[in-house]
Amino acid sequence: MKAIVLKTFGGPEALTLMEIPKPEPGPDDILIRVMATALNRADLLERQGHYPPPGKAPVHQVPGLECAGIVDAVGDRVTLFSPGDSVMALLPGGGYAEYAVIHERLAMPVPKGLPVQEAAAIPEVFLTAFDALYNQGGAHPGYRVLVHAGASGVGSAAIQLAHQVAMPVMTTVGSQLKVEAVRAFGADRVVNYRQEGFLDAVQAWTQGKGVDAILDFVGQAYLQDNLKALAADGTLVLIGALSGYEAHINLGVVQARRLKIHGTALRSRAFEKKVALVQQFIKEAIPLFESGRVKPVIDRVYPLRDIADAHRYMESNQNIGKILIEVSQDA
Ligand SMILES: NC(=O)c1ccc[n+]([C@@H]2O[C@H](COP(=O)([O-])OP(=O)(O)OC[C@H]3O[C@@H](n4cnc5c(N)ncnc54)[C@H](OP(=O)(O)O)[C@@H]3O)[C@@H](O)[C@H]2O)c1
């Protein structure tokens, strides 16, 4: 099959289209004929050699944390899916390819009514946002949440999901174009951080009380202000650290105001925990897509052979929502 392989680490030119053996499904696995995959910020790090796949190093390192497609074959013990089913899945890697293999309990049906390709924009960012908001962020009607990088893949998912539980959302973005976009996702208050600081904006928006939860991808540069922006008993969910991981923290603020700092990572999570999240998502979130209450946000679609251009586009921080990669049998 054709796949994008990391033969070396480095810039987008390190992404090499080549023929490699098709993966074989184990007894509990399904083999997916991939119709689309999607980019995630972590793919850029993996390409640079900073985000190795879990477990033993593969013979061919194929990035790609998610895909959507059609079940091509199933292992002997598989009961949940059959050949011909439309599925989407969170992958430990291997999504930039014509075929991918995944344990049946980590695969999800494509929401009814959604084109299969579009479903590739769901697994990584919606599972992350769903888990961060509903399981770790203590989602509750009326609680106020601050979502940083609201136009990112995860941010665009989080804003929509917050609305489903009647949580007012403030979000930060880095351009005027993104201000308009996140309003359309349902953000109640938008801060263009190039024009105003989010801390003052939070204080004004909450009459000095602070927000109940923050979903953050920025880390180092925002930590001090994030802690000041939280209400007493509030939760900071750290999903990424795009500005860096090292930060000075005033423990007095954390202790006196009973704050919680919750780190999260999907890829390294134990199998049973991943399965539990995927099964919870199938039950609670897929109906939201089927009723049209939430939608994957797709910015651009590239063919697999133009994957380097797709990486350059994400690196330029211009994308609003997801960058989809269409995988056809002639790549
Ligand atoms: N923990 C997990 O399991 C998990 C899962 C998925 C994703 N993530 C993390 O979630 C984050 C978002 O991922 P994604 O794929 O949705 O990203 P994305 O679509 O590429 O969006 C990232 C956006 O973040 C903003 N940004 C970049 N560098 C920044 C900086 N130094 N300071 C402030 N803002 C910055 C930019 O938007 P502006 O123009 O608005 O600044 C950029 O477009 C990443 O950190 C990723 O690693 C974590």
Q: Which atom of ligand 1 is nearest to the CA of 241?
A: 45
Q: Please tell me the distance from the alpha carbon of residue 200 to that of residue 203, in angstroms, as a whole number.
A: 5
- Let me know whether 197 and 314 are in one domain: no
Which protein residues are within 6 Å of ligand 1, measured from CB? Answer: 40-42, 124-125, 128, 149, 151-154, 173-175, 178, 217-218, 239-240, 242-243, 264-266, 314, 317, 319
Q: What is the dihedral of CA 91, 94, 100, 101, to 10 degrees?
A: -60
Q: At 100, phi and psi to the nearest 5?
A: -140, 150
Statement: residue 331 has pLDDT above 80: no
- Let me know whether 144 and 257 are in one domain: yes
Kind of pairing, strands 169-173 and 145-147? Answer: parallel
- Let me know whether 177 and 253 are in one domain: yes
Q: Please tell me the distance from the alpha carbon of residue 168 to that of residue 208, in angstroms, as a whole number.
A: 16
Statement: residue 329 has pLDDT above 70: no
In a domain, 258, yes or no: yes
In a domain, 302, yes or no: yes
In a domain, 331, yes or no: no
Query: Rounded to the nearest whole angstrom, what is the distance from the C-alpha of residue 242 to the centroid of ligand 1?
Result: 6
- Let me know whether 163 and 280 are in one domain: no
- Let me know whether 231 and 275 are in one domain: no
Structural domain for 130, as ranges: 125-263
CATH of the domain at 219: 3.40.50.720
Q: Which atom of ligand 1 is nearest to the CA of 319?
A: 43
In a domain, 129, yes or no: yes
- Let me know whether 210 and 94 are in one domain: no
pLDDT > 70 in the chain, percent: 99
- Let me know whether 310 and 209 are in one domain: no
pLDDT tens-digit map of 14-26? 999 999 999 999 9
- Let me know whether 177 and 231 are in one domain: yes
pLDDT tens-digit map of 256-302? 999 999 999 998 899 999 999 999 999 999 999 999 999 999 999 99
Domain count, the chain: 2
The CA-based angle 261-265-271, given to 5 degrees, is 130
Query: Of the candidates 231, 263, 295, which is a domain's last residue?
Result: 263
Statement: residue 330 has pLDDT above 80: no
Closest residue CA from atom 21 of ligand 1: 152
- Let me know whether 215 and 319 are in one domain: no
